[in-house]
Each structure stands twice: as structure tokens, then as C-alpha cells.
Structure 1
Amino acid sequence: MSGPGHGVPSAAEVNAAHAAKKHFVGMPAPLGYVAGVGRGATGFTTRSDIGPAREASDVSDDRHAPPPKKPRKHDDDEEVDLNESNYDEFAGYGGSLVGKARNRKQRLGNAREKYTPMTDAMLAKSMGGQSVSAIDPKSGLASALPGTASGMLTPSGDLDLRKIGQARNTLMDLKLKQSSDSVSGQTVVDPKGYLTDLQSMIPTYGGDINDVKKARLLLKSIRETNPNHPPAWIASARLEEVTGKIQAARNLIMKGTEVCPKSEDVWLEAARLQTPEIAKACVAQAVAEIPMAVRLWMKAADLEQEDKSKKKVFRKALERIPNSVKLWKAAVELENPEDARILLARAVECCPASTELWMALARLETYENARKVLNTAREHNPTDRTIWISAAKLEEANGNDKMVQKIVDRAIAALSASGVEINKEFWMKDAMDSEKGGSIMTCQAIIKAVIGVGVDEEDRKETWLEDAESCINQQANECARAIFAHALSVFPKKKSIWLRAAYFEKSHGTRESLESLLQQAVQHCPQAEVLWLMGAKSKWLANDVPAARSILSLAFQANPNSEEIWLAAVKLESENNEYDRARKLLTRARDSKKGAPTARVYMKSAKLEWELDALKTALKLVEEGLEKYDDFDKLWMMKAQILQALKKIEAARDTFGVAVKRCPQSVPLWRLAARLELDQNNTTKARSIIEKARLRNSRNPELWLEAVRIEREKGTKEQALALMARALQECPTSGILWAEAIFMENKPQRKSKSVEALKKCEHDPNVLLAVARLFWSERKVEKCRDWMTRTVKLEPDLGDSWVNYYKFELLHGTLDQQEDIKKRCIASEPKHGELWCKYSKDIRYWKESIEFFLLMAAKDLKPPQ
């Protein structure tokens, strides 16, 4: 027991003793003090400590301020966490037995020895073939690399990447040498193929592996639920094949052959997945299980390398399946003609319904035997039209032309009697195939037999012309010729059919075929002037001028008052230098009793004299013509131009003044009148004339274009642009205006302008030509050529297109391309186009050819800028 008497101190004494030893006892805790924090405890704060909630703008409470930061220690003093959670009974604080033995400077030194790897961008450049020899020191990489220590920095401070590459190669060589065999000295690593080996280890499937797992589980469930379902085994095998597990695929499919031994598809899949030798054994087992499977026998033959082995397989197959046409055809293809004939003789016995086998046998037999074969084939296949067509081809090939039409007609009758529908489209296709095979008479006989099938009587003409056009588009010219022949036999008096047939012969036939057709045409349609003229022109182009005169003479007899025939005769004589003959013909034509005194006859009369430089005579003839035909604008134009040639400017001006009053709707008259004033530097007068013309002829694009060009020539670009804007508002679908507007824009805006032009007038040749010239100005050769081709196809009569195309090929094409454009232009005989008519209408070149105009215009044409 303790008590006062036993020397035990009282409570007051203890407190006094504590007070003497600890000066803080009984004093309030300092701010921020947390009891037990030095022994691992964590502080916490309650609502009673901080009081009620305060606004963010309230004055802070200094009682709960954070503890002050400790002063920074010297670098040699390392700060150690003395928390009990960091204490280890063996290693002490911080996990180190030596405590503060490591110096901070040493650790910092070791940290500075770390290397920074190269960036992905630099690696990508090196892989892409770009040469990067140094790193920009400002990029921050140079400071992180050990430049001075490794000796790889250039004197300027940049990193030499070539030395890095050399060091890398040296290191790789060293590693390869280290991996060599110590006994034989040979390397166990292929230095050239190790990347290939790594590539082969990469799986080929690039999809989500989770999808593969789901598919694998699903297919497994299907196989377990319905093991006799072949598609499940095939799909499972293909899944493994796609993911690169070929052996697993083989194992699965072989298991499928065990479960589904009667499935042809499973066996074929198994043969596909196996190696060739194993595939042979697999197919052998398959045909044992399914001996009637044709595809398995075909696969077995495909797996054989030698024809002898293939033949053996096919013969075994035919023993099992003698009625398989596919097997017979494959077997015949491996034989020589004699053995094939014997084999086919047996084949048609086993497969009498196969038309192909009968046809093949007939081709290998002699003429007499082939006829017997086809007759037998027709007995076995009474509803097959191809046997009849083959019989017709056989007769044609052996010169028995009379039988061809009879066989085709008999075929139509026999098939109709057997209840077979005569399908016109099928027979037309057979006719085209016969033409391609060289059986022209068979083709024509088929056309004649079926062209009227299913066509109403009132629709025959239009339908047959459409059929002929369809054949022409498919390059079946003989079929088209046969259609025209049949149509003309039914409608011999139809001028339109004769014309279509004549144009067809002109484009796709020979001169002889054209002239023969025209001779028949004028006999049936003697009043068709154009047919006479085509015949005369054909003879003239063949340099047979007497024959051309003879045709025109016959044409005069049939059409005594025909203006076209008179003028054609005049042209024939004048272009063959028979000027006296031409003058006499024109004199007779102007005679009201014997000829055709029309306005064009007077114009041609005056033009001939003008061409022969007899200007006064020409002027007299023009005035005579104007007395009778004062509303014919071309006579007024000729008079004014002849006066200009005679240097009578005032008289020409007066002529234009009268002319525009008599012919106010003639746009060329207004334009020529304005051009006369421009040539005399009377710009204001020219503007006035065009303004009057626009008032008389509203919405006329040619007059608007003339007004725009007047301003452009005088240098008032702003006024020209304003006029063009008004013109496009009034004539929004005018190709000539849009074509001009494109090149009035500055180069950056031309493309957008061309797009707008194509939207407004997509099929206008002037716009297409402008777009082609735009590509030409941008040096886009192939695009320009494509658009030029499109332009001349759309409108071959536009001479400007041919001139631009030829000039383009002169600069960018080959000699063959240039000659091709020239020939196509001559064949098209263009007559229109502003640039083209500048030369073709020039009186000085009245005797020149189309080739001359093409070369002359192309020489003066400047490439677009």
C-alpha cells in the first residue's frame, strides 16, 4: 500500500515536479498542432474547430493557418521521412541500411547521365528516306543528349546523326558476332532475314480479337447443337484460317468430313486447305464416299499435274457419271481432234439433250457427216434454235448460199409449230454473233426472218430505223445494212429511209456500196434532190468529173427548177476550173423560163464574179438581185463588202444604213455595219449601231457579245464586265457568252466561272471548248485532250473546235495524233465557227480545201494564257 507514510509523493508534489521539468505543461496548444503527428497520426478538423460556414470573402482565421515552411537545408543534408510507416526494422528509415550515406550530389550526377530517346518525328523522317544530319539545339533535345561526353556533337553544337547511325551499325554487328556459334563460327541469326521472320510471326487477321472469340464460341455451339450441319464446319475452318491458325482449320475440317461424310462442300473445303499430296488422298476418300459428285471428280483432275493422269481421272468419273455434260466437255478438251471426235460421238449418246456436245461434234465432222449430226441433234432437241442456226452457218461455209434463207425460214416455222416463242431480241443477238463469226448471209437471213416479229404495221418504219441505229451503235454494220435493205423493200418510196441508208454507207461502207445504193434511190425517189447530189459528189470526190456531170444532167431532167441542182452543177464546174461552163449555167439558172432565178442564184452568180476578181460585174449582179429580192440580207452584205473592196466607204455605209432598215432581223448585217465604223475609228457610232440592233433584236447573244468586244478592244474593261453581266442576265443559256466570260475573269476566278457556265449550258460546244482551253492554259495536257475530244464529238461541224484541237496537238501531241485530228476534221467537213469562217469565208481562199483552212487557222491561233 502506498500512503503518505510510506514516502509516496502526493499529487500536488507530482504536478509541481512536472511543472518544474516541462515549461509547456498547462499551456494552450500552438496553432496548427496535431497530437501524435510525429508518430504517424493524421490530423482532422471538425465543425467545432472551424465554426460556422463562412463566405469566400470573409477574413481568414489565423488560428488555423498552415504551418510555416521549413527553411531549405543545405545540399549535403538529405531530408529523410521519419514517419513510422517508412520505418523498417532491418533497413531502418527510407529502406537503406546506410541511412544518409549517399550524397545528394552523387544522386543528381547519376540522374544527369540519363539519355533522352529520339522523337517519333525524327524516326519517321529517317524511315521515310529524308536525310536529317543534325538536331536544332533550340529544340531542347540537344541539351538532353550527352554531346560533349560522347563526342557526337559537331563543333557548332548540333548532333551528327550520321555518326549515330554508324555507331548503331557497329553495335548490331557486334551483337551478331556475339550470337555466332562458338564451335563452327557460323552465326545462328540470319542478319538479312530476321526482319522477314519477325514479319511472318505477325498474325494476318487485323480485326478485334474479342470478335474472333465470340465467333469461335458461337460456331462451337452450332457444331455441338447440330453436328451434321456442313456450313458450320466450313465456317469454323475458315475462321481459323483467317486468324492464321491453318493447322487448326485443317483439323476442324477433317473432323467435319468424319461427321458429314456425304457433304460435297465439306470435302472440297478440306481439299482446298490441305497440301496437294494430302488433298489428293482427301479427294480420293471423298469420291469413294460420294461417287456421283461431279465437282469432286473435277477437283481430283485439277490436282493432277499431267494430262495423262487427268484423262484417267475423267474416264473413271465418266464410268460412274456418264450423263454429266461438264465431265464430257472437260474430258474432250484434253484430247486431240481425232480422239475428241470419238469421245464426242459417245458423249452425245450419253447426253443427247446437250446442244453444246452436238455442236462440238458437228464442227469436227466432215460436211456430209456434220449435216447428219445436226439433223439427229434437231430430232433430240426440237425446240433449240441454235441447232438450226448452226445448220445455216454450215451451209454458208460450204458455199450452199441458197439453203441459208430456207433453213432460217424453216426454223421459224418449225419452232413456232412446236410452241416456241420467237423472241426478236434473242434472234437479233444471234444475228450479231453470226456477223462477228463471219457468217454474213446467215446474219442477213435471220434479220429478214425476224425483223417484223412483234411490230405493229403502223410502227414498222420508226421501229426498224431504231433497230438499225442500235446495230450501228453495237458495231454490227451488216445487221444494220440488212435492216435497211428490208425496210427499203417494204417502203421503196420513203426518202427518209434512203437518206439514212445513204448516210450509213457513207460512214461505214465503201464508195461502191454508196453509189450502188444511190442509183437505186434515185430510181425510186427521182424528186429527192439530195440523193442526186450525193451521187454526183461521190463521183466528183473520186475524180470522175464526167460521171458527176452525167448524174447532174439526169437530175436536171427529173428536177428542172431545182435551185440545189443548178448550184451543185455550178460548183462542180467552177472548182474544176470550168469557169465559162459555170457562167453559162448561172445565166441559164437566172432565166425565169428555163432555170431557177432565186436569190441564192443571184448571190452565187455575183460571188463567182467576185472570186474571179470582176468586182464591177459582181456589183451589177448584186444590184439586179436586190431589185427582185430586197429582203435577202446576204445580197446586201455582199454589196457593202464589194463597195469596201472598191474603197467606197461612204457608199458602203449608206448601203448598211438601207440594209438594216430592210432586214432589221439580220444580226450579221448589224455586226458588219458596226465593224465598218470600228475600222474607221468611230467607236461611238459602232456602239450606237449595236445598241439599236439590241433594241430591234432583244435577247440576242451575238449582239451582246459584239458590244462586249467593242469595249474590250477599246480597253474599257470595267464597261465590258458590266455589259457581260447584263448579257448573262438576259441570255443565261448562251454558250458563246459564257465562253467569252470565262476568259474575261482573272486567272484565280476562271475555274469557278467555268463551273457556273457548265451548270447553265452543259452541252454547249462553245463552253466545252472554253473549258478545254482553260485546262490548256493551266498545262493540264490530259484533261485538255479529254475535253477537246468531247467537244468535237458533240459538234463536229464547229470548225473552231478542230482548229484548237489541232493546235493543241501540234504543241503537246505526237505526229500520229496530229494526223489523226487532221483526217477527222477533213471527214467532218466543218462549216461553222467564228475563227473557222474568218478563213473559209475569205474570198481570197475560195478554192482552198478544208486542210488549208485548218492549217492556216491553227498557225495564227495563239495558245490561251
Structure 2
Amino acid sequence: MSVQSLVSKKKKSFIGLPAPLGYVPGLGRGATGFTTRSDIGPARDADDISDDRHAPPIKKGKQDDDDEEDLNEANFDEFAGYGGSLCTNDPYDKDDEEADAIYEDIDKRMDEKRRDRRPFEKKLREDLEKYRQERPKIQQQFSDLKRDLASVSVDEWNTLPEVGDARNRKQRNPRGEKFTPIPDSVLARAAASTGSNNVLSDRDQKYAGLTSPFGTITPGSLTPTSDIDMKKIGQARNTLMDIKLTQVSDSVSGQTVVDPKGYLTDLQSMLPSHGGDINDVKKARTLLKSVRETNPKHPPAWIASARLEEVTGKVQAARNLIMKGCEECTKSEDVWLESARLMPGDQAKAIVAQAVRQLPQSVRIWSKAAELETELKAKKKVYRKALEHLPNSVRLWKLAVELEDQEDARIMLSRAVECCPTSVELWLALARLENYENARKVLNKARESIPTDRQIWITAAKLEEAHGNIHMVEKIIDRALSSLRANMVEINREQWIKDAEDCEKSGSINTCQEIVRAVIGVGVEEEDRKHSWMEDAESCGTHGAYECARAIYAHALSIFPSKKSIWLQAAYFEKNHGSRESLEALLQRAVAHCPKAEVLWLMGAKSKWLAGDVPAARSILALAFQANPNSEEIWLAAVKLESENNEYERARRLLQKARASAPTARVMMKSVKLEWCLGEIENAKRLLEEAVKHYSDFAKLWMMKGQIEEQQKRVDAARDAYNQGLKKCPSSIFLWLLLSRLEEKNGQLIKSRSILEKARLKNTQCADLWLEAVRVEKRGGLKNIAQTLMAKALQECQNSGILWAEAIFMEPRPQRKTKSVDALRKCEHDPHVLLAASKLFWSERKINKARDWFHRTVKIDPDLGDTWGYFYKFELLHGDEESQREVKRKCLNAEPHHGEEWCLVSKHIQNWRLKTEQLLPLVSESLAVPT
């Protein structure tokens, strides 16, 4: 065996051993590891070997002398300066901080003032964002892959294959060339041997001793042009410019003289009223000059040239150009008018005089001539001269008449209608100035001259109504429609209704009613009449044309006298916009045509009762009994009427008759409630026992039974009543809530919780049950459990406003605003969420915003009594007497009946006779100020 084979079989000492820390194969020959741009910089570890092929500069040893100042950037502080400087030991007190804050505010204010002069900054940011979106950095492209590296295990790392060069030798080096990296020592010697030439040429010696912005140019400081780094020169120039501007902007007095950021953009101040580029102005001037020379008879070219010069601040040049345009385009009124606009007063009059001689038929030039006159007499003279040349111009006649008094205007209009017989405005203006007889003659002539215009007919009808001839109005409107149809004029229903609204606004009530009667059925299909007419009535009511709406309802009722829905809408309209007398008259006619409509009888009786006429209300209900002998609503209305007027015995007798003739669950409930309110508990319990036998599926009876037992402190009996009711009515949410609250009052928190959980199983997606479960935990002091339940509740009932409103105030104060935004996104128009937002602004003492949100809430749902209670309390604390009265008035008009807090007060047995006016202060007192 040879020695060579022995050597080859001997195992190398480094084989199988781990590589040293930071080892990169081939590093000594110039190779580097595989890195990306994101790995360069802070992405590398501190102990990684640098990719720089050159050795780092040798640091000087730290001198013992402490007097030498360390000017490293890491040793610099914005306020204290460099570490070890003289200013380091000075304290930074409150006066320094206040002074710095004032200077910073001044800089911000000045920067805001100049921001509109720097439009390029916004464009630069937009371009940079667009560029970053199109060409993201390598670090951004690999960010998701880097995040995924966190989940790679150690075994997966070890099994990664080595990246090798899969190409063959020819592909790696197709030319067969060999490359050996040059050693660093060779490069260092080459760099040392390459230096600046310190010898000046004959050309350079001419500049010896000159002063430059960087100092005095001395021999040896200049280098040949070929060796100059142009990039470094540009950077030095920018640095110098920045230094100069900073020095000028920060003067000793603190006043800014030059804006460093807007220095270049301030050059646009050379153009006072023009923000464009100077080069664009020059190009436009050249182009317009070419157009003028090519076609000197083209008026727009002269006008555009003059306006260009005017915009750039050269007014005299603009005047000269437009005068040349007047010479070239003598028949263009636009050029003459532009010239008159640019010229001062007297010269403008002279220009207009020349224009009138060139274009005597131009209405615009005559109008401009009158406009330039300052005296009224001169204006009249100009217009009369113009009418001599243009007697058929309606515009000139109107302008001339406006300057005259009433008598002269009438005379001029008499001549105007002869010259312009087809102008409706002139005929109508003349009719307004004439007396009654002459006005009728004028309108008759106008109809003969213009048989296709409806305004003349409508004016004639208004004229007759104004002079008391009501019977003529209907004839004129009918003749108008016949005449217009004969002259092939289309009757536009919407236009005529709009004319009727205008007539009502001008006070011609009969005319508007006759117009509605005549055109309401035009173009409407027979099966669509009711729907279309109701929409028209609502539209008129929205526009404030109440008489037109009444006319539409009256016509609809004449066609459909037995339609209950039309009578109801008309009654609601009179209730909102009419008087009590008109409402009662309408209801009297309504019950005559629809005797079976209970609601119409009840509205009539309520109107009489609110007016204080109780006997009339009783008589109406008596007639209603005759028409509807077994009506539950009428029975209960009669009972309420008697009980509200302290006629308890009569109310009891009525209820007894109702139980005998028309027994229903509601009649039984009202009977029990009346006895309960009057303090007759035993009678109420007796009636309840009888009621639950016949109407066991009516949940309110079980609720009343349990509440009466609770009132008598009989907890077991109340629990039994609620449990029996839940067996019969498992879907009654309030029965579950009453039973849960009963157990909670007795300290059975676990039992209360289980009841609510059982209720949620039987009634899924019920927000009220979830809300009660959350509140039970909150009242028990278990806020964490309450938060968990609220999260589950919002998952099951995502669009529940009451849950979101509760969730807002369960959050800590800093997170409430974010939660309210989420709630508004989910339930944009829910009154509970809007009320919570109002309370949130109130708790933050944002009074105006809170008031706006309260107004928004009561507008969306005026029947929510809680909103009115909070709103009234808010105004009591932060408003004046006027605002308090306004809230109270709106609440009385709305008559709210719902709301958690409102129902707790209004349905309390002691408050059974209180009206809305007394309930509102009680509800507001029971509410707490949001915190």
C-alpha cells in the first residue's frame, strides 16, 4: 500500500465537526452568504460577519483627556445637545418647555398658511404611494414568508437541502475563462497610489485666489474637470441652499422672512391672479397670436387673447387687443361687450355707443348701455331709444317697465302687449295693474291672442275669486280645460296640481280646490285612482298645501264614500293639520258612511272628551253601541271614559255588562285592573280566578295574579302563579322575567340564573332574556361573567339595539366610543342605540352633540318613553325654560307608551290615572345621569 493511499484514508480532523459561528464558505475568496436587501442593516444579528470586504477603520484609543468633546450622533440630544457640553448641566424647566411649545405652535401656524402654496407636496406623496403600491420593497414582498418562519421546527430546518449549482461546467463558464479575485492588498495599494493632482494647469491658475461659496480657492484645491464628482457638487449645493434659507428664515426677532419649503413655489406670486405656469402662458399667447393672424375675423380669438392678458395682470394689453378685435369684428356683439367690460366708465360708454351704431338690433348691447348709466332718467331714455329700434323685444319691455311707476308702467304695458301679443308675462302684468273691469277685458284679449296658455285662465279664476264671484271660478276652470284640449294642449296633471299649490299660497283657496277637482282624475287608471290620490294628498301635505290635500280627500271620498282607509287618512290629516271642529265634522260624516268602523267612533268620542264635552262623548259611544253591539273596543272605551271622569260605579256596571254580553280576555283584564286600582284586592282575585279558568292562555292574567300576590308579600303564591302561567304560556317573555326577578329579590341568584337559561332554551334569539341575564350578573357583582354573557348575546342577536346599548356602557370609558361606532354600524336606525349615543355624549359633557342626538332619537321613534325621560332630564340640567317647555310639548303630542323605565312608572298601580304630562317628570326623576 502506497503512502498516498495511507494519507487519503486518514480521516481529516475537521470532518464531521460543526462549523464555527458565522462561518461562510469561501469568504476569504470573496464569496458571501445568500442575503436579501431586507437582511442588510438591523435585520442581521449583532454577531454576524459583515459583508464588507474591506476591514473596518481602526478606532482610535480613548484619550484620557476629558476636555475633548464626543461629537458622535449617538451622543446628541435634541434639547441638551452633545453629552459633556456646557449646556448639559442646565436644567430644562417649565419656562423652556412653554417657550418651545409657543415656537412650535407658531411654526405650525405659519406652515399651515403656506400649505396652499405647496401643491407639489401632496402630488409627491400621492406619486410615492402609487409607486410603493406598484413596486413594493423586497422586505414587504417577503414579510408574509418571514412570519411563517416562526412555525418552522428545528428538525425541518436541519432537513433543508443545501443550495447547489445545478448547472454543468460549460453552463457555469461558457467561455472557459478562469476568474481569481484580486487580493485586498492589491486594491489598497492601487487606492493609495491614486491621488489628487496638486499641480495646477495654466487654465486653472487663472482662478487661483478666487472666493467660492465653500471658501477661498487656493492652489491645490482644484481638481481637473474629469475628476469632479458632479453628484457630490449637487449635494453640496443643496446643502448650502438649505443652510442659507434656514439662516434667513430664523431671524433674531423670531419673524419668518423666507419660507424654506415654499421658497420656489413663491415665484408664482409674479402672476397675481393666475396660478399656472409661465411657460404655459407663453405658449397660449403664441397660439392665440397665430389664430388671430390666421383668421382676424374670428371673435373668440380676440376675446380669449384679451382675457389671457387680463388674467396675467396686463390689463392695458388686454384693452388694446380687444380694441383691435372691435376694428376687425365690427358685427360681433360679444367682442363689443367684452370691450365695454374691460374699459373704464366713460370709455365703456363710448365703446357701447359705437357698438349701438354698428349693431342697432342687439338687445344685449342696449341693455349694457342702460346698465352703464348711473341716473334713472338716463336709463329710461336708453330703454325708450332701444324700444324704437326693437319694439318686439320682450326683455327690453320688461326692463323698461321695471323702472317706471305704476301709472307709466300701465301705459307702457298697454303698448307692450300690442307689440308683443304672444308674451304671457306682459299680459298678466298689465292685468295686475288694471282695475277689475279692465283686467277682465285684458285677460279676454290675452286668451284670444294666446289660446294655449293655462296661466291666463288661472289668473282669470283668481281675479273672479278675489272679487267674490266664487260661482265663476268653477266655470272658468272647466272652460279652460275644454279650450286647451280643443287647441291640442296636453293636460299635465302634475303641473296643474303645482299651480293649485301656488294658488293656495297666494290665498286663492277656491281656485286651488276647483283646479284639484278638475284635474285629479286626468291620466289615472280606474283601478289606480285610490292609491294615486292618497299619494297626491300626502305630497301636498308635505309641501304645506293643506287645502289642496283636503280637496283631494274630499274628491276621493265623493268617489269612494264607503272606504274606511280613506276616511281614516283624512281624519288623521285633520287631527294633525286641522281644527277640532273640522275633525269632528269629518268624523260625523265618516261614521254615517262607515258605521262598522269602530276606530272612527272612538276618534269622535275621544275628540269630544279631550274638549271637555263628556256628555257628547257618551252619546257618541251610545250610537257606537247601537251600530256595534258586541264591540270590545267600544266597551273598553266607554269604561275608560267613565273611570277617567271618576265615575267608577258606572265603569263597573259597564264592565259587568261587557262580561255578560261580550266576554273577552281583555274585558276580564280591565275588570281586574279596575278593582285592583280601586283597592278591592279580594274582588280582583275573585275575578282573576274566574278569568284564568276561561282564558288560561292569556299571559297578562297570570302576570297580574303573580304581581297581586307579590304586593301582599306572598312569595310562594306568586311563584306558583308565575309557574302555572309559564306552563300555559311558555313563550311569554315577561312571565319569565317576572319569575326571575322574584327569585333574585329573595336572594336566589342561582335559581334566577337557571330560570333565564331555561327561558332562553325555549325562546331562542330573544334579546330581552339575554339582557336580563347580563343585568343579573352585573347586579350580583360578577362583571366578568356579565361580559362573557354579553359577548354570547351579541353573537346570537347581532342586530339587537337594546343589547348594543347595554354593551356600550359596560365597556371602560376609553373604549365606549369605539363600541358605539360598532353599534351604530350594526343598528343604524335603532332608537336604543341612538339613545345610548346621546347618553354617551352627555357623559362626556358634549352638550350640543348630545342635544342633537336626542332630537334624532325622538324623531326616529317618538313612542319610546325612555328617550323623552332622558331628554327632559337633560334639558332640566343643561337647558333653559324654553327648551324644557318644547320637550314637554313634543312629548305630549307623541303620547309615548313604550320603554322600560317609562312602563315601570306608567304601569305602576299608584300611577294608573296619571297623564303624560304628570308621568314625564316622574320618569325623568327615576333616571340617573349617565357617567
Query: Compared with structure 1, are the counterparts of its residues 567 and 326 closer, same or farther at alpha carbon in structure 2 (3 Å cutoff)?
Result: same
Task: Write out per-residue CA displacement over residues 297-340 of structure 1, whole angstroms, 9 at most, x where no aligned residue.
Answer: 11111111111111101100000000111111111111111111
1:753 is displaced (CA, Å) by 2.1
Partner residue, 2:657: 588
Separation in 1, partners of 2:868, 2:804: 20
Task: Write out per-residue CA displacement over residues 47-70 of structure 1, whole angstroms, 9 at most, x where no aligned residue.
Answer: xxxxx9984424349987858999
- Give the secondary-structure state (helix, strand or coil) at the position aligned to 1:847: coil
Moved more, 56-65 or 330-339: 56-65
Contact 1:81 1:94 (8 Å CA) reproduced = no
Unaligned runs of 5+ in 1: 1-51, 71-79, 97-114, 130-197
**AA aligned opposite 2:185:** V
Please tell me whether residue 540 in structure 1 is matched to residue 606 in structure 2: no
Residue 751 of structure 2: which of 685, 700, 705 is its match?
685
Task: Write out per-residue CA displacement over residues 68-92 of structure 1, whole angstroms, 9 at most, x where no aligned residue.
Answer: 999xxxxxxxxx988766767xx9x
Residue 470 of structure 1: which of 533, 539, 543 is its match?
539
Aligned pairs for 1:396-795 (under 5 A) are 396-592=465-661, 596-795=662-861
Task: Write out per-residue CA displacement over residues 835-858 of structure 1, whole angstroms, 9 at most, x where no aligned residue.
Answer: 111111111111112122211111
**AA aligned opposite 2:587:** L
Moved more, 253-262 or 117-126: 117-126
Separation in 2, partners of 1:574, 1:61: 114
Contact 2:250 2:256 (8 Å CA) reproduced = no
Query: Compared with structure 1, are the counterparts of its residues 803 and 62 closer, same or farther at alpha carbon in structure 2 (3 Å cutoff)?
Result: closer
Partner residue, 2:73: none
1:126 is displaced (CA, Å) by 4.2
Query: Compared with structure 1, are the counterparts of its residues 473 and 62 closer, same or farther at alpha carbon in structure 2 (3 Å cutoff)?
Result: closer
**AA aligned opposite 1:625:** A
1:237 is displaced (CA, Å) by 1.0
Contact 1:291 1:320 (8 Å CA) reproduced = yes
Separation in 2, partners of 1:515, 1:363: 40
Query: Compared with structure 1, are the counterparts of its residues 355 and 614 closer, same or farther at alpha carbon in structure 2 (3 Å cutoff)?
Result: same
Partner residue, 2:364: 295
Separation in 1, partners of 2:790, 2:287: 71
Contact 2:793 2:803 (8 Å CA) reproduced = yes
Partner residue, 1:309: 378
Separation in 2, partners of 1:536, 1:54: 113
1:833 is displaced (CA, Å) by 0.7
Please tell me whether residue 234 in structure 1 is matched to residue 308 in structure 2: no
Residue 848 of structure 1: which of 902, 911, 914 is its match?
914
Contact 1:742 1:754 (8 Å CA) reproduced = yes
Contact 1:488 1:497 (8 Å CA) reproduced = yes
Partner residue, 1:179: none
Moved more, 853-862 or 776-785: 776-785
- Give the secondary-structure state (helix, strand or coil) at the position aligned to 2:491: coil
Task: Write out per-residue CA displacement over residues 199-252 of structure 1, whole angstroms, 9 at most, x where no aligned residue.
Answer: 998623222111111111111111112211111111111111111111111111
Moved more, 386-395 or 625-634: 625-634
Partner residue, 1:859: 925
Query: Compared with structure 1, are the counterparts of its residues 94 and 757 closer, same or farther at alpha carbon in structure 2 (3 Å cutoff)?
Result: closer
Task: Write out per-residue CA displacement over residues 239-271 of structure 1, whole angstroms, 9 at most, x where no aligned residue.
Answer: 111111111111111111111111111111111
Separation in 1, partners of 2:347, 2:322: 13
**AA aligned opposite 1:666:** S
Task: Write out per-residue CA displacement over residues 785-834 of structure 1, whole angstroms, 9 at most, x where no aligned residue.
Answer: 22222221111111112222222222333322221111011001110011
Partner residue, 1:224: 293
Query: Compared with structure 1, are the counterparts of its residues 541 and 287 closer, same or farther at alpha carbon in structure 2 (3 Å cutoff)?
Result: same
Q: Which structure's CA Rg is the greater one?
A: 1
Contact 2:306 2:318 (8 Å CA) reproduced = yes
Partner residue, 1:38: none
Separation in 2, partners of 1:124, 1:706: 69
Separation in 2, partners of 1:833, 1:706: 15
Separation in 2, partners of 1:66, 1:603: 111
**AA aligned opposite 1:261:** T
Moved more, 272-281 or 748-757: 748-757
Partner residue, 1:190: none
Task: Write out per-residue CA displacement over residues 265-313 of structure 1, whole angstroms, 9 at most, x where no aligned residue.
Answer: 1111111111121111111111111111111111111111111111101
Task: Write out per-residue CA displacement over residues 660-705 of structure 1, whole angstroms, 9 at most, x where no aligned residue.
Answer: 0011111111111111111111111111111111111111111111
Aligned pairs for 1:77-226 (under 5 A) are 94=209, 119=247, 122=250, 126-127=254-255, 203-226=272-295
Unaligned runs of 5+ in 2: 1-177, 212-242, 258-266
Contact 1:448 1:483 (8 Å CA) reproduced = yes
Partner residue, 1:134: none
Query: Compared with structure 1, are the counterparts of its residues 125 and 801 closer, same or farther at alpha carbon in structure 2 (3 Å cutoff)?
Result: farther
1:447 is displaced (CA, Å) by 0.7
Partner residue, 1:823: 889
Task: Write out per-residue CA displacement over residues 112-157 of structure 1, whole angstroms, 9 at most, x where no aligned residue.
Answer: xxx999757746994599xxxxxxxxxxxxxxxxxxxxxxxxxxxx
Query: Compared with structure 1, are the counterparts of its residues 200 and 682 closer, same or farther at alpha carbon in structure 2 (3 Å cutoff)?
Result: closer
Separation in 1, partners of 2:249, 2:640: 79
Task: Write out per-residue CA displacement over residues 583-633 of structure 1, whole angstroms, 9 at most, x where no aligned residue.
Answer: 1111111113xxx21111111111111111222221212222112111111
Contact 2:655 2:671 (8 Å CA) reproduced = yes
Separation in 2, partners of 1:633, 1:495: 32
Contact 2:268 2:275 (8 Å CA) reproduced = no
Separation in 2, partners of 1:64, 1:487: 108
Please tell me whether residue 360 in structure 1 is matched to residue 426 in structure 2: no
Separation in 2, partners of 1:716, 1:205: 69
1:718 is displaced (CA, Å) by 1.6
Residue 873 of structure 2: which of 797, 800, 807 is its match?
807
1:748 is displaced (CA, Å) by 2.6
Separation in 1, partners of 2:432, 2:312: 51
Query: Compared with structure 1, are the counterparts of its residues 120 and 765 closer, same or farther at alpha carbon in structure 2 (3 Å cutoff)?
Result: farther
Partner residue, 2:419: 350
- Give the secondary-structure state (helix, strand or coil) at the position aligned to 2:335: helix
Separation in 1, partners of 2:625, 2:200: 131
Contact 1:86 1:94 (8 Å CA) reproduced = no
**AA aligned opposite 2:606:** K
1:564 is displaced (CA, Å) by 0.8
Separation in 1, partners of 2:421, 2:191: 110
Separation in 2, partners of 1:590, 1:468: 43
Separation in 1, partners of 2:406, 2:457: 24
RMSD: 2.8
Task: Write out per-residue CA displacement over residues 756-783 of structure 1, whole angstroms, 9 at most, x where no aligned residue.
Answer: 2222222221122222222222333333
- Give the secondary-structure state (helix, strand or coil) at the position aligned to 1:59: helix
Task: Write out per-residue CA displacement over residues 548-601 of structure 1, whole angstroms, 9 at most, x where no aligned residue.
Answer: 111111111111111111111111111111112211111111113xxx211111
Contact 1:87 1:95 (8 Å CA) reproduced = no
Separation in 2, partners of 1:68, 1:252: 67
Query: Compared with structure 1, are the counterparts of its residues 324 and 67 closer, same or farther at alpha carbon in structure 2 (3 Å cutoff)?
Result: closer
Separation in 1, partners of 2:313, 2:542: 51
Query: Compared with structure 1, are the counterparts of its residues 480 and 278 closer, same or farther at alpha carbon in structure 2 (3 Å cutoff)?
Result: same
Separation in 1, partners of 2:863, 2:515: 37
Query: Compared with structure 1, are the counterparts of its residues 86 and 379 closer, same or farther at alpha carbon in structure 2 (3 Å cutoff)?
Result: closer
Partner residue, 2:321: 252
Separation in 2, partners of 1:65, 1:742: 72
